[in-house]
Structure 1
Amino acid sequence: MCFIFLLAMPLKAAAAPAVEAPSYILMESSTGQIICEQNAEERRSPASITKIMTLLVIFDHIGTGRVQLDSEVMTSAYAKSMGGSQVFLEEGEVQTLDTIIKCIAVASGNDASVAAAEFIAGSEQEFVNLMNQRAEDMGLTNTHFEDCCGLSESDNHYTSAKDVALMSRELITKYPQILDYTKIWMEDITHVTRQGSSSFTLSSTNKLLKMYDWTTGLKTGSTSKALYCLSATASKDNIDLIAVVMASPSNKSRFQDAMALLNYGYSVSALYEDANEERLPTIPVKGGVQEEAALIFKGPFRYLDIAGSDLNSIEKTISLPPEVVAPVKRGDAVGEAVYTLNGQRIGSVSILSDVTIDKAGYKDYLKKIWGLYCNL
């Protein structure tokens, strides 16, 4: 196990950041812990940070193998007609899904977003249905989408700073390859149409990439209704933060707000990590074809402290029953590692069976008896 301290233990909490945006949240991505927030569950128009969910649904489909990065995406007349931020795709133009993702993640292309939506779901509306279903599955109760790019100014197209942070967290933790796209500052793509080929430079809308050294992404958005929005991700000293600001009054202020939040987060945070790589004891199995089951931890444990606690005081206790009863499947939870700080439980990690053990039958008992007899 190890400790990552970003500062000497403070005598008092750092002053809250000065943020102009009326709605914001700062979250640590690996634990999901909220460091600070204001009006974070207030429903607001999201503008192009809508595309965070668009990208999440795209990567869900890549993850299932239904589409691939080298799949060819054709632009429809409807996709070409999108206003706002665009990469000027022509009707009938074919690009790989990889290039389309760059157009969305880097240049916030509305035309690229609709082209991807039609490719994956047949129509933008069907894709939006997938977006809303994904939001529902994630428990995002303050989110509803009307389009896939954020152009809608309908009162029925909304989300909240907290929901944006949660969908951002889902995207970067489940599909960390998205950061390969959102870190791009500028990159050329090639338009190939009936008129010939031409080069077009994608330029990131996320100016934080040049303003804040530890920026890794993620997405900007602005309309007259939404004002200026940003979901910003950063990584420093193995701590990954997500800062979401909504309705900042200006383009400049949203980036200043995000930097203030990120600086605050890194100033107060200390991360405790336990890789959980030590060997666990076996556990007796009652009534099984094997008498013992090997055990493993479900994964590492991470705890973010923002109170200046002494993380050397964290204690870990292995909690296991005397035995388990067959059948036991590999991956079944049979116990847990419990972590406490100053006597208070701060989290746990499940302990799993590393093997499948079937329930013993009549013949299995005969084999056991015969084995005992032969060893006499």
Structure 2
Amino acid sequence: MKKFIAIFFLMLMAASVLTVPVYGLAITPESLQSRSAILINADDGQVLFEKSSNDKMAPASITKIMLLVLISEKMDRGEITLEQELTISENAAGMGGSQIYLEEGETQTVENMLKAISMRSANDASVAMAEFLFGSVEGCVKAMNDRARELGMNDTSFMNVTGLPDPNHLTTAHDIAVMTKELLKYDYVNKYMLTWMDSVYVGKEKDSEQVLVNTNRLINNYDGLLGGKTGFTNEAKYCLSAAARRNDTTLIAVVLGSDTTKIRFAEIQKLLNEGFANYKNIIFHSRGDVVTTVPVYCAKDESFNVVSKENIYYFTESNCKVEDFTLEYEIDENLKAPLGSEVPIGKAVLYKEGKVLGEYLLYPEKNIDKEGFFSFYLNNVLENIIK
């Protein structure tokens, strides 16, 4: 099919196509005290730094990131709401470790449970949500493992929803980064992850106030933090997964097996700082932005807007230049209405030095309806007669 081609000198990239070479950072695996660590670009999952990132280790409460993913997915599908209430079981109320001291038989809202999980890492709230979502903890654990397989977390095995010690409850820094990346697709828990202090009332009479102080101290001192999840058990030691965004660049850092809480926070900041200093995303079109306008036949209007359904960007080392890249829009010729907004009508192609780096489908901004005969007659035939 013939194409209408528009050429622009821009920088563009979709993550799944181009692998950007990773240049040396000022940190080395030997310079970190944590047993395992990783730094990735949150948009495409590209690994920028790693230290024993595929070693299977106990994740402690970082486990709850997957629980939050499942909760977010159900909220996104409209299956649950923040205002919904759940009844606390004996099993949930009896959970040890970090908790908000829920009572058997009391009712709580989904929102309060999300606060407790995100801020205090409450085990009783986690079990209550697992039972509410899937009927049982076992059902939720199965869903967590199934979702892990779907995400390619092949070195992860969840045995519970809390992260309490179990010799078979293991994952890796790499897999934690993957599920953190998945959680970033949603914003249902961002508010709570970034709240320093709040409280919930518990008990059948709601007469006991539980003050929640976020376990992630980066909230108060790291610019651009999007959220994170801490974890600690004697077996796992101190762990942390955190995401941050500056300008158009979003990074995820994970550290496992830190001897002190001070080390985990310091090394997460070191990883993120190095990433932001050496790499950047340049976004030329956000998802839904109009990228060009093209002519159309048999429609009320003579042209329509063309959009991309994904961010058009390029992830690169910080000194890369826009002029190094060429972007072409190849749009089908002689487009005629009707056109659906879900049917591609062309593509954008990225070149560098004559080499194709990526191709991205383009769509009409909205459905383009065919002009009716009467309207066509009035707008065209009569207009010509009058002239």
Normalization by structure 2: what TM-score?
0.80
- Give the CA deviation at 1:92: 1.5
Residue in structure 2 matching 1:162, options 163, 171, 174: 174
CA deviation vs aligned residue, 1:40-99 (integer Å, no higher than 9, x gap): 233222111110010111111112222110111221111111111111111122211001
Mapping of residues 195-214 of structure 1, within 5 Å: 197-214=207-224
- What secondary structure, in the 3-state scheme, does the structure 1 residue paired with 2:203 have? strand
**Residue range with higher mean Cα deviation, 116-125 or 36-45:** 36-45
> C-alpha separation between the residues in 1 aligned to 2:25 and 2:109?
47
The answer to whether the 8 Å contact 1:132/1:144 transfers is yes
The amino acid across from 2:292 in the alignment is L
What SS is found at the alignment partner of 1:241?
strand
1:270 aligns with 2:283: no
Structure 2 SS opposite 1:51: helix
Contact kept, 8 Å, 1:85 with 1:110, in 2: the verdict is yes
Cα distance in 2 between the residues matched to 1:296 and 1:96: 43
How far off is 1:143 after superposition? 2.0
Kindly report which structure 2 residues correspond to 1:86-105, keeping only aligned pairs within 5 A, or say none. 86-105=99-118
Give the distance between the partners of 1:284 and 1:214, measured in 2 at CA. Answer: 43
Aligned partners of 2:39 and 2:272 also within 8 Å: yes
Deviation at residue 14 of structure 1 after TM alignment: 4.2
Moved over 4 A (4+): 292-295, 321-329, 341-346, 353-359, 371-376
- Per the alignment, residue 128 of structure 1 pairs with 141
Indicate the SS of the match to 1:68: coil
CA-to-aligned-CA distance 1:109-151 (integer Å, 9 cap, x gap)? 0100000111111111111122122222222222221111111
The 5 A counterparts of 1:213-232 are 213-232=223-242
Q: In the aligned structure 1, how far is the partner of 2:27 from the partner of 2:335?
A: 49
Residue 180 of structure 1 is aligned with which of 170, 191, 207? 191
Task: Work out which of the residue numbers 4, 27, 33 in structure 1 matches 2:46.
Answer: 33
Answer whether contact 1:331 1:354 (CA < 8 A) is retained. Answer: no
CA distance in 2, matches of 1:349, 1:239: 20
SS state of the match for residue 193, structure 1? coil
Question: What secondary structure is seen at the aligned counterpart in 2 of 1:167?
Answer: helix
Specify whether residues 27 and 343 from structure 1 end up closer, same or farther in structure 2 by C-alpha distance, changes over 3 A only: farther
Identity of aligned residues (%): 33
Provide structure 1 residue ranges, at least 5 long, that are not aligned to the other structure.
4-11
Deviation at 1:338, TM superposition (A): 2.0
CA distance in 2, matches of 1:236, 1:78: 42
How far apart, in 2, do the equivalents of 1:97 and 1:358 lie?
43
Q: Which residue of 2 aligns with 1:296?
A: 306
- Do residues 148 (structure 1) and 161 (structure 2) align? yes
RMSD, aligned CA: 3.4
Q: CA deviation at 1:345?
A: 4.3
Whether the 8 Å contact between 1:243 and 1:261 is mirrored in structure 2 is yes
For residues 373 and 272 of structure 1, do their structure 2 counterparts lie closer, same or farther at Cα, with a shift above 3 Å needed? closer
Letter in 2 for 1:242: I
Provide, for residues 268-299 of structure 1, a one-character-per-residue CA deviation record: whole Å limited to 9, x for no partner: 122211126445354779xx999x99562224
Letter in 2 for 1:248: S
Deviations 1:312-364 (A, max 9, x none): 423211134556899964312343212234555444432124566899xxxx9
Moved more, 312-321 or 258-267: 312-321
Supply the distance in 1 between the matched residues of 2:199 and 2:355 (Cα, whole angstroms). 53
Counterpart residue number, 1:250: 260
Q: 2:342 aligns to what?
A: 331
In structure 2, stretches of 5+ residues that fail to align are 1-8, 12-22
Partner of 1:43, secondary structure, is coil
CA distance in 1, matches of 2:368, 2:283: 32
Residue 66, structure 1, aligned to residue 79, structure 2:
yes
Distance 2:317 2:33 in 1: 23
Between the aligned partners of 1:207 and 1:127, the Cα distance in structure 2 is 29
Deviation at 1:261, TM superposition (A): 0.2
Partner of 2:5: none
Amino acid corresponding to residue 52 of structure 1 in structure 2: I
Q: Which residue of 2 aligns with 1:7?
A: none
Q: Matches of 2:56 and 2:200 in 1, distance apart?
A: 36
Matched, 1:313 2:321: no
Q: Say if 2:72 and 2:188, in contact at 8 Å, map to a contact too.
A: no
TM-score (norm 1): 0.83
Does residue 46 (structure 1) correspond to residue 56 (structure 2)? The answer is no
CA shift, 1:242, in A, is 1.0
Q: How many residues align?
A: 360
Letter of the structure 1 residue corresponding to residue 142 of structure 2:
N
